[in-house]
A and B are shown apart, each in its own frame.
Chain A
Amino acid sequence: MAKHHVTATVNGDAVEFLCETEDTLLDCLRDQLGLTGTKEGCSTGDCGACSVTVDGRLVCSCLMLGIEANGKSIGTVEGIAQGEKLHPLQEKFLEHAALQCGVCTPGFLVAAKALLEKNPNPTETEARYWLAGNLCRCTGYDKIIRAVLDAAAVMRGA
């Protein structure tokens, strides 16, 4: 069968790619578009390393087919910084040493950004539950949660 032709927006840019029916959005981002910042940790939606936004909604890109992205607007870790200016979440992750190996970091940043867009002033508990779908095996989450809450404060202008 012929491949599917998909047009979408990724990080604000119009893109098009061809994919097989069974290709996940994660496969398409990594293999067709070369956006390897989005990671595959489990391919079953349990680890959150492949978190992206689709029309503003947080999803595991391993659980969505590439063809489902047709006409949609996708946000990945590569689109978080504005030019040379890092996003406050990125700044705070570095400042708080909220990453060790860094492989879960793209997913956490995408998920945390989605959180702060919905809830600019989350409590620690709210942040912990929102980010419970993102696994980190290095940090014990302490510094990640601090970075997210600190970034939220900066973004609120507090």
Chain B
Amino acid sequence: MQEKVKEPGSEFKWVGTRAPRPDGVDKVTGRARFGADLSLPGQLVGKVLRSPHPHARIRGIDTSAAEKLPGVKAVVTARDFKDQPSEFIPAGEMMINYRDVVRNVMAREKALYEGHPVAAVAATSAAVAKRALKLIKVDYEVLPHVIDVVEAMKPGAPLLHEDLYTVGVDPPPKSPSNVAKRIEFVLGDVAAGLRQADVVIEREFTTKPVHQGYIEPHACIASVSEDGLAELWGTTQGHWVVRAHCARLLGWDISKVRVTASEIGGGFGGKTVVYLEPIALALAKKAARPVKMVMTREEVFRASGPTSGAHVRVKIGARKDGRIVAAEAELKYQAGAFPGSPVQPGAMCAFAPYDLENVKVVGYDVVTNRPKVAAYRAPGGPISEFAVESVIDEIAARIGMDPIDLRLKNAAKQGTKAAYGPKFGPIGMIETLEAAKAHAHYRTPLGKNQGRGVASGFWFNIGGETAVSLSLNEDGTLALTAGTPDIGGLRASLCMMAAEELGVPMDKIRVVIGDTNSLGYNFLTGGSRSTFSSGMATVDAARQLIKEACKRAAKLWELPEDAVEYKDGAVRPAGPNAGKHSPMTLRDIAGIAGKTGGPIVGYARINAAGAAPSLATHICDVEVDPETGRVSVVRYTAIQDAGRAIHPSYVEGQYQGGVAQGIGWALNEEYIYGDDGKLQNPGFLDYRVPVASDLPMIDTVIVEVPNPRHPYGVRGVGETPIVPPMAAVANAVANATGVRFADLPMSPPKVLKALDEARAKGTAKL
């Protein structure tokens, strides 16, 4: 759908308001049902046996003793899942390979990380299931492991996959390695650009894997009838995707599997893949009883995907006037146990906020003995952009230029050709920078031991396959069904757009997320696509419904279809016939639906095109404790282009939530592995996400540069907010201390050590 974007102003009754969310009351009363909240008669408890070794060959599994334990109703291993050929399939922002998916769900030849599932049982109680797991004998041949990405790339490193040959190098390698892929994006000539530079800064950075940290662990309940009809209920960002994965892994027809998405307790990308779901279905089929599976928090940490840890080198050359003349980056992202780190989007984003002539980005996708990474909010972007935004800040300081001015001088704008290929349409980089510069925060004097940092960020956003239906009920109210799970206010936004189109109050529309049989295929909620894509489809469905309503009234009035119009919630005769008949409201139309042709339904089936990037600029003030090295964020302002904010509160919420996660990534969060290759902090006590007392209020500014490809100008907003914070915090710490941190997280012991070293050298500012 391409058309002129509606201009804001008095004609909007719902869009842009802070209307109540339709699912709100259920969520403040405990009524909302999340993944672990459904129980079925006769249900069993499913539990997974996981590898205690980071790397081991599985010589055999003996499940006979477990099967004999009273109360055990089913045991499954890799034998219960069909092996899959190697083939990469696009899945939103990431790629999947079913050969790897089936092995990640249940280890086959080898266990590749501590926590890798090797078998599962269904039993009459959790206690019996746990006892049964202890009776399963796995014959492991323990192998040497590799955890660090740089170590994994070295010749002679323990090999995870003996048949993995690096793709993207010429000539192709003769021997296998842990490097799955090399990618490269080049624009212009970096060497020639560097020759024009007055300043060249090259730095190396490391970031640790961090987990999405959704508060709700993975959970599902499966039931398979004796004739093979399966029902699955659970927490997911995309139930059609779950259906496709499960049917494929189990070798069942898709029509046999019906999936209902429960309310979802956070996802951030981590619930775009399957872990328990195919296992629960396989157990339920074998046991012929419903099977409920819920991960413990420890399992979530050990065995669901965090994002990559990485090693990044960035080199930027600029002239004294602040113009960047060359930019180069090398990204090494660890993918975990199977290929598929977000290095590609990381490489594409790295310099995307800037209009540059000479860019080269090289990326490596590297397997290590860790859980396979999953998408995490702007997958890959925060890592590469942390490094780039840190170096840009250092360049600004070196040439004595304001960091916002330096960014303005190089900002991408409409018509800029990105190094990864496309020419941008209207984008809001300059607008966010100007808003940052004009913000009172930027001029407020700093206190003792404080510093201020600025950073920008970019994310693409996606569209994709989407279906929505909108039915006119018998009394003129409406039933709206969408297929992208609502994680943070989607139903409110869709309802508002439908109300706006139809000219009816929001409370006349009941919106639900339908199951996989209720609509055509919907890709998942990810890539900041759901308000954009399901919104576009909702508008389409509403317009179809209006057209049909007009047709029915025209039939009744015996007028041509084009002689009626829909305005202010009613069909009216138009033009020369205006006033000839009383307007018919949707209630009146509903009353004649039966005799004029039957049910009135708008049904949008689209592949939403025209998703547009969202850019952000953040300002962060920190205070560093010179005695303990603790960094506290004392003020934060997030400025971002939303295209158009349908519901400003939930847009602000996305900004604030992304900032909080980014601050956690910058200051505290990390996966800590021992030399034994085992995760040492699989819990919220030691994997410390920000708590309320760690953070200040997070100020937000919504910039609106409408996306011309969406009927209301919407851009996805969910992912960009996590991109700038790490550099904004690091730049603020550098400003406060005189020490630049290239290794995340900037936890107190590291900061204190660096401060002590800088003090010894006389370079510390405090």
The complex places the Cα of A109 from the Cα of B31 at a distance, in Å, of 14
Contact, CB under 8 Å: A36 / B37? yes
Known: A42-B684, A94-B25. A135 touches B691 (CB 8 A): yes
A155 interface hit (Cβ, 8 Å):
no
Q: How large is the interface on A (under 10, 10 to 19, 20 to 34, 35 or more residues)?
A: 35 or more
Interface string of A26-56 (1 = CB under 8 A from B): 0000110001111111111011010000000
Interface residues as binary, B2-26 with A (CB distance below 8 Å gives 1, 0 otherwise): 0000000000000000101101110
Contact B691 A132 (CB under 8 A): yes
B18 close to A97 (CB less than 8 A): yes
Q: How far is the CB of A151 from chain B (nearest CB, A)?
A: 11
Say whether chain A's binding surface is mostly helix, strand, loop, or mixed.
loop
Measured CA separation A103–B37 after assembly (Å): 11
Scan residues 118-135 of chain A and give those whose CB is less than 8 A from a CB of chain B: 124-125, 127-129, 131-135
Q: Is B34 an interface residue (CB 8 A)?
A: yes
Contacts of B27 in A (CB 8 A): 99, 102, 105
B18 CB to nearest chain A CB (Å): 7
Q: Which residues of A contact B29 (CB under 8 A)?
A: 37, 77-78, 80-81, 86, 90
Q: Quick one: which of B571-591 are within 8 Å of A by CB?
A: none
Within 8 A of A (CB), among B646-660: 647, 649-650, 652-654, 656-660
Greatest chain B CB density within 10 A among A47, A78, A80 is at: A47
Using Cβ atoms and an 8 Å threshold, which residues of chain B touch A134?
691-692
A47-B683 Cα distance, complex, nearest whole Å: 10
Whether B297 lies near A139 (C-beta < 8 A) is no
Which residues of B (181-218) have their CB < 8 Å from a CB of A?
212-217
Task: For A109, list chain B residues within 8 Å (CB).
Answer: 28
A156 to chain B, nearest CB (A): 21
Interface check B431, CB cutoff 8 A: no
Quote the shortest CB–CB distance from A104 to chain B (angstroms): 5
Bound-complex Cα distance A133 to B37 (A): 23
A86 to B660, CA, bound (A): 29
For chain A residues 92-114, which have a beta carbon within 8 Å of chain B?
A: 93-97, 99-106, 109
Let me know if B30 and A135 touch, CB within 8 A. Answer: no
Residues of A within 8 A of B31 (CB): 37
Query: Is B440 located at the chain interface by the 8 A CB criterion?
Result: no
Q: Residues of B contacting A40 with CB < 8 Å?
A: 36, 217, 294
Does A144 interact with chain B (Cβ within 8 Å)? yes
User: Is B685's beta carbon under 8 Å from chain A?
Assistant: yes
Instruction: Decide: B127 and A143 in contact? CB cutoff 8 A.
Output: no
Q: Quick check: B488 and A138 within 8 Å, CB to CB?
A: yes
| Residue of A35, A131, A135 touching B689 (CB-CB under 8 A) | A135
**Chain B nearest CB: distance from A18 CB in Å?**
13
A105: B residues at CB distance < 8 A: 27-28
Q: A44–B687 Cα gap in the complex (Å)? A: 13
Binds A, one of B263-271, B318-326, B367-375, B597-605: B263-271
Residue of A22, A30, A102, A132 most packed against chain B (CB within 10 A): A102
**Chain A residue with Cβ nearest B266:** A101
Contacts of A94 in B (CB 8 A): 20-21, 24-25, 28
In-complex Cβ contact of A103 among B28, B265, B689 (8 A): B265
- For B37, list chain A residues within 8 Å (CB): 30, 36
Contact B689 A137 (CB under 8 A): yes
User: B683 is contacted by which of A35, A42, A49 (Cβ under 8 Å)?
Assistant: A42
Q: With an 8 A cutoff between CB atoms, is A13 at the interface? A: no
Q: Which residues of B contact A132 (CB under 8 A)?
A: 691-694
Residue of A nearest to B638 (CB): A140
What are 21 A-to-B residue pairs whose CB atoms are below 8 Å? A20-B127, A36-B33, A39-B34, A40-B217, A41-B297, A78-B29, A95-B20, A97-B653, A100-B488, A101-B214, A102-B263, A103-B215, A104-B215, A133-B691, A137-B266, A137-B657, A138-B653, A140-B657, A140-B695, A142-B697, A143-B652
* Residues on B facing A (Cβ under 8 Å): 18, 20-21, 23-25, 27-34, 36-37, 39, 127, 212-217, 263-268, 294, 296-297, 487-489, 647, 649-650, 652-654, 656-661, 683-685, 689-695, 697-698
Besides A80-B28, A105-B28, 17 more A-B contacts (Cβ < 8 Å) are A36-B34, A38-B30, A42-B684, A43-B296, A44-B297, A47-B215, A86-B29, A90-B28, A97-B647, A100-B654, A103-B266, A135-B213, A137-B215, A138-B657, A140-B657, A141-B692, A145-B692
Listed from nearest, the 9 A-B pairs whose CB atoms lie closest are A37-B30, A103-B265, A100-B488, A102-B27, A140-B660, A97-B649, A140-B656, A46-B684, A77-B30
